[in-house]
């Protein structure tokens, strides 16, 4: 589609929003959500096959991380939408006696959703669910890196909706650049911090509001009060889920040096239990998704080679195959903060371990890195957990596990600073696509606020002097 057609589509959606969606009842939004749910349920195998074609994503992981969370989001919205959308009355302060205040939840209007490739179905459809629930029209731009899913998303939305209501635009940077020139009422972007900056800059030209769901370098802290077998099992799963290509994937592990050797043994054991013992067995294991494409394979291979050159030691893994976009799950030790592997978001199956002498050393290392999207603490000590939480910052935090925060429908999901702004999921996602409009109604004629109008006399001066706000 050409640039002026994007503009036509935008205006078509704007008109549809003003003439249809603004007047419709909550029931109509629910109907749209229900249609998507039905389509997904009827096409579950097709979705699984499609993601397998894109990056050999295993059917089980597709169910866990692409299909079920979306069905869950829809179910929650279907159940709560009437309550979420209700106009809410607020208390009146003494100073505004006689007035009534309420918050009316309104849709923002014409919204753009830009999605990444790593959960190409869920991260495209998820924000669309929130935008529909809030009553908006939507243009969705999926990732071009997962072309089969891109086509599937076109099918899903053109099967179910007219383009005035929901449209899908395919393509890469040139198409997204053109789309970003339009005066969207809201842009919901999921992707890298680098592209997040481009999106925000473009949004600023029209003062479009933005949600930025970005990435980052997520730390894991393992203290000597952790249960090592339990930690190893959870980390072996959380790190290699989607082959490490997840925004909440652990990026580096800080571990008390007194337990490091024992922990590595536990991690190897748990890894073998899940994925196999021998290089061929691991490679053939269908539970391991592949790296998305050769560009990302080469990025990761260079990162791995450079980190080894800089002194990192391979504990296990480092089996690579460029033709298959395969790097076996790899654990590195002897990593310092100067090592290249520490300096970027890895987004692949490599896990560096850094040993620390005392907890404050570990916190110093964490403070060198931008605020992460996810923060994982493994310790049975409440005192230690609180100490770490109170001395750090993060979009989300999990105690004694990884990754699961994403699946909690009642927790806001999002980053802070370079890991993003705004929140996704459930009610929080709904609010992101809504305007909370304040409405204050005043009585006619004599009102208490007229006591502060000029002309001032001794009585009005007394009122102004003694009046207090919100006490
Ligand atoms: P990306 O930023 O490269 O691409 C995301 C989207 O932006 C794609 O649709 C792409 O077409 C578009 N895009 C790319 N370059 C662009 C440009 N120059 N101008 C305009 N649009 C452009 O991200 P990705 O590689 O698809 O995804 C990986 C990143 O996303 C990681 O940093 C990861 O942590 C982050 N992520 C965050 C979350 C979250 O919920 N916070 C979830 C998944 C991924």
CATH number at residue 203: 3.40.605.10
Cβ atoms < 10 Å from Cβ of 198:
16
204 and 223, same structural domain?
no
Same domain, 209 and 225: no
Q: How far is the CA of 293 from the centre of ligand 1 (A)?
A: 15
Is 324 inside any structural domain?
A: yes
Pick from 73, 55, 15, 23: nearest CA to 324: 55
Q: Which residue from 146, 108, 152, 150 is spatially nearest to 130, judged by alpha carbons? A: 108
**Ligand 1 neighbour 98 (Cβ under 6 A):** no
Which one of the listed residues 247, 266, 345, 432 is annotated catalytic?
247
How remote is the CA of residue 382 from the centroid of ligand 1, in Å?
Answer: 36
CB 141 less than 6 A from any atom of ligand 1: yes
> Is 333 among the domain residues?
yes
Q: Which of 61, 66, 178, 213 is catalytic?
A: 213
Tell me the CA–centroid distance for residue 420 and ligand 1, in Å. Answer: 12
Minimal CA–CA distance to 311: which of 354, 370, 252?
Answer: 354
The pair of three-digit structure tokens given for residue 367, joined into one six-digit string: 């403070």
What domain range includes position 28?
Answer: 3-214+421-435
Find the helix or strand (DSSP H, E) in which 140 lies: strand 137-141
213 is catalytic: yes
What is the Å distance from ligand 1's center to 143 Cα?
8
Model confidence at 144: pLDDT above 70: yes
Q: What is the pLDDT of residue 259?
A: 98
Structure confidence by residue, pLDDT tens digits, 156-215: 999 999 999 999 999 999 999 999 999 999 999 999 999 999 999 999 999 999 999 999
User: Could you tell me how many helices (H) and strands (E) the chain has, helices first?
Assistant: 17, 18
Residue 471 scores a pLDDT above 70: no
| Model confidence, pTM | 0.96
Q: What are the residues whose beta carbons fall under 8 Å from the beta carbon of 379, sequence distance 6 or more?
A: 221, 222, 223, 225, 226, 385, 388, 399, 400
b (16+ CB within 10 A) / e for 407-433:
eebeebbbbbebbbbbbbbbbbbbbbb
> Which protein residue's CA is at the shortest distance from atom 42 of ligand 1?
247
Please tell me whether residues 166 and 51 are part of one structural domain: yes
Query: Please, is 277 exposed, middle or buried when counting C-beta atoms within 10 Å of its C-beta (0-12, 13-18, 19+)?
Result: exposed
Specify whether 227 is located in the same domain as 344.
yes
The count of domains in the chain is 2
Other beta carbons within 10 Å of 87: 11
User: How far is the C-alpha of 333 from the C-alpha of 68, rounded, in Å?
Assistant: 36
């Amino acid at each position: 589609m050409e640039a002026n057609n994007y503009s036509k589509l935008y205006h078509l959606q704007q008109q549809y929003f003003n003439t249809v969606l603004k007047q419709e009842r909550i029931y109509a939004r629910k109907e749209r959500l229900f249609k998507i749910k039905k389509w997904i349920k009827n096409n579950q195998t097709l979705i699984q096959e499609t993601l397998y074609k894109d990056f050999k994503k295993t059917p089980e992981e597709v169910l866990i991380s692409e299909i079920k969370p979306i069905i869950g989001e829809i179910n929650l919205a279907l159940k709560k939408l009437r309550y979420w959308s209700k106009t809410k009355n607020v208390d009146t302060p003494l100073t505004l006696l006689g007035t009534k205040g309420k918050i009316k939840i309104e849709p923002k209007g014409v919204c753009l959703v830009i999605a990444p490739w790593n959960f190409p179905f869920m991260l495209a459809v998820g924000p669309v669910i929130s935008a529909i629930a809030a009553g908006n029209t939507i243009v969705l731009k999926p990732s071009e890196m997962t072309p089969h899913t891109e086509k599937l998303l076109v099918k899903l939305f053109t099967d179910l909706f007219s383009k005035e209501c929901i449209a899908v635009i395919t393509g890469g940077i040139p198409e997204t650049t053109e789309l970003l020139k339009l005066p969207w009422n809201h842009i919901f972007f999921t992707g890298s911090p680098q592209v997040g900056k481009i999106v925000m800059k473009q949004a600023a030209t029209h003062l479009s509001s933005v949600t930025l769901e970005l990435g980052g370098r997520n730390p894991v802290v393992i203290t000597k009060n952790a249960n090592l077998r339990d930690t190893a099992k959870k980390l072996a799963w959380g790190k290699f889920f989607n082959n490490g290509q997840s925004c909440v994937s652990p990026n580096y592990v800080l571990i008390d040096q007194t337990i490091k050797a024992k922990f590595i043994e536990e991690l190897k054991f748990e890894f073998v239990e899940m994925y196999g013992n021998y290089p061929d067995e691991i490679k053939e294991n269908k539970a391991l998704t592949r790296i998305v494409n050769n560009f990302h394979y080469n990025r990761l291979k260079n990162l791995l080679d450079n980190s080894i050159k800089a002194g990192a030691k391979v504990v296990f893994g480092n089996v690579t195959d460029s033709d298959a976009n395969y790097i076996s799950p790899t654990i590195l030790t002897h990593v310092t903060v100067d090592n290249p592997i520490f300096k970027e978001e890895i987004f692949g199956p490599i896990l560096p371990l850094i040993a620390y002498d005392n907890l404050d050393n570990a916190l110093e290392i964490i403070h060198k890195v931008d605020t992460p999207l996810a923060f994982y603490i493994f310790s049975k000590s409440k005192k230690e957990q609180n100490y770490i939480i109170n001395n750090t910052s993060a979009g989300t935090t999990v105690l004694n596990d990884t990754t699961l925060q994403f699946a909690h429908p009642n927790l806001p999901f999002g980053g802070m600073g370079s890991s993003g702004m705004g929140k996704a999921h459930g009610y929080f996602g709904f609010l992101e696509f809504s305007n909370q409009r304040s409405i204050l109604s005043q009585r006619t004629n004599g009102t208490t606020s007229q006591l502060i109008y000029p002309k001032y006399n001794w009585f009005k001066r007394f009122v102004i002097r003694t009046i207090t706000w919100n006490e």
